[in-house]
Structure 1
């Protein structure tokens, strides 16, 4: 059944640490849903005899009136401890009917690489790209990085880069400005753009931490880390050109990883690159911190197969592209 935000949050916070991934937190999903007027956060949960099936994200209604389900940017998907295949099929069928009852046409799910949770979704899924994580169970992190990352971090610290954790709203807003400026420089799509209210909301999220790098008292980079349970997620980051020269982002990641380690977090997920290319610069940057690679898998769940097929056929006849799950908006 569908439950409200407070009920979902209370349930999520009681889960064992191995299930509490930061971007599956109901409050995080609610914050993400607020970024678009047409979004409505939604939390589905079936729980019985210690077994659970939880799917969360947001619903969006298109201009044509079609409703779809989507997990937020980052990583989400199904959270379940069910191992029996027949029981899993039954729970999935009930979930599908619940979404159909809301008039939902289809779903686009970005699964969580560290959880491999796509395995429990018995619908079409496909590999998108690799991601990287740091094993925080290693006592001394710096020697575990590749030479290029170690060298960059030492260069930053030797050059006077100082990394601090943000403690005020003003610092969060300073990072919001830096992030916005960097996204404009990159010509980023709307998916990567956030208004000031988002940074205010995310700063209040339990487990949300902002690390800022300064050089001669000037803000040169920063990154937001989301912690929950056994995991930390490298969420948003930005740097000035000077910050790049002095490897301040590498220093931020290292300090953040060290602090998460002290908090008992076991793994920090850095995400992947902008593509699956071997030449992807962002993936090369992140892989300097670890050899731990994970599959990022996306899933398309068609709730109303007949209506979806008819709509897709109509779009093809009109010469419109249908190469995405949510092709109609």
Structure 2
């Protein structure tokens, strides 16, 4: 029998469902939905016996109206699922689509926007509901390969840089005390200042402490040390199959040395000791070689993944009414532009 459940963020069942998924990332967890948004978040679960499709959502009110829209947390979200062996998921996908449409109409949802996960096959779940728009490429390292095979994909100049960094006696280890965590936080703030980041990127110190010690997923802070001083660091999250490069920073004094290269190399070597199948570095601004961040990451691997977003207008009439004063653009939903 098909079943549709709405799981609240406070329920332990959210975590149970996520952990049963064939592949998921920390962006799908209840913890991340608690810290990333001030709006109401829910996990919609569509199931048949032990097979299920789960969609984490954030519901936002549309100011001045009785309507709402759905969005996703920042990062890589979208549906997750688990299909029992030899189960034909076709009927469950149809049930998901019909039930989701009914839910949206009952809740006065006008539109749906979600960032999708480059490492999870989600298109077959949501196709025919609106459109999937391809944006940029991301970089992933295949942890199923032997370490020497992974390293063969490194750009030649990267291999040379790594050798030089090691000769400079820069070492990488997991942060082992509060002083090293605090040093990284200050370096992260310094990095955000340097790139003129938006205020939303300036997380509180408590955010970092809690993130590194949450119960929903494992996270590790790797720091680069030079003469007993933290000069760079990066937080990596670890779920069942995915290690994700998250927040990072390098102090101004050592920016030219690019110790982050050494940190990512050590993260890869650590990843090879886990059950994870991918170390996902993410993308850049445009996902092309003329994008310096993407070029930096692509020096580690040519295993590029497609980052896409999902756009779905539930009620075209209301959407057009809300958008009528807005200039035409690719922004979605247009009425929030």
Could you state the TM-score of these two structures normalised by the residue count of structure 1? 0.89
CA distance in 2, matches of 1:195, 1:64: 31
**TM-fit CA distance, 1:86:** 4.9
What's the counterpart of residue 167 of structure 2? Answer: 158
> For 1:96 and 1:243, how far apart are their aligned partners in 2?
52
Instruction: Please list, as runs of the form range in 1=range in 2, the aligned pairs for 1:1-329 lying within 5 A after superposition.
Output: 1-5=5-9, 6-15=12-21, 18-33=22-37, 37=38, 39-65=39-65, 66-81=67-82, 84-122=89-127, 123=129, 124-140=131-147, 141-205=150-214, 206-312=217-323, 314-316=324-326, 320=327, 322-329=329-336
Per-residue CA deviations over 1:187-207 (Å, capped at 9, x if unaligned) read: 122453423232122112331
Structure 1 residues not aligned, in runs of 5+: none
Cα distance in 1 between the residues matched to 2:180 and 2:108: 43
CA distance, structure 1, for counterparts of residue 285 and residue 199 of structure 2: 15
Question: Do 1:78 and 1:118's aligned partners in 2 also have CA atoms closer than 8 Å?
Answer: no
CA contact (8 A) 2:24 2:80 kept: no
- Contact 2:113–2:312 (CA under 8 A) maintained in structure 1: yes
TM-score between the two structures when normalised by the length of structure 2: 0.87
CA distance in 1, matches of 2:258, 2:310: 36
Report the Cα offset of residue 84 of structure 1. 4.2
Distance change in 2, residues 1:87/1:147 (3 Å): same
Please report how far the alpha carbon of residue 232 of structure 1 lies from its aligned counterpart in structure 2 after TM superposition: 0.6
C-alpha separation between the residues in 1 aligned to 2:200 and 2:294?
A: 19
CA deviation map 1:53-90 (0-9, x unaligned)? 11113223344355322222210101134664454133
Distance change in 2, residues 1:251/1:327 (3 Å): same
> Unaligned 5+ residue runs, structure 2?
none
Aligned pairs, number: 319
User: Deviation at 1:179?
Assistant: 1.4
The answer to whether the 8 Å contact 2:48/2:92 transfers is no
RMSD: 2.1
Separation (CA, whole Å) in 2 of partners of 1:242 and 1:11: 45
Partner SS for 1:283: helix
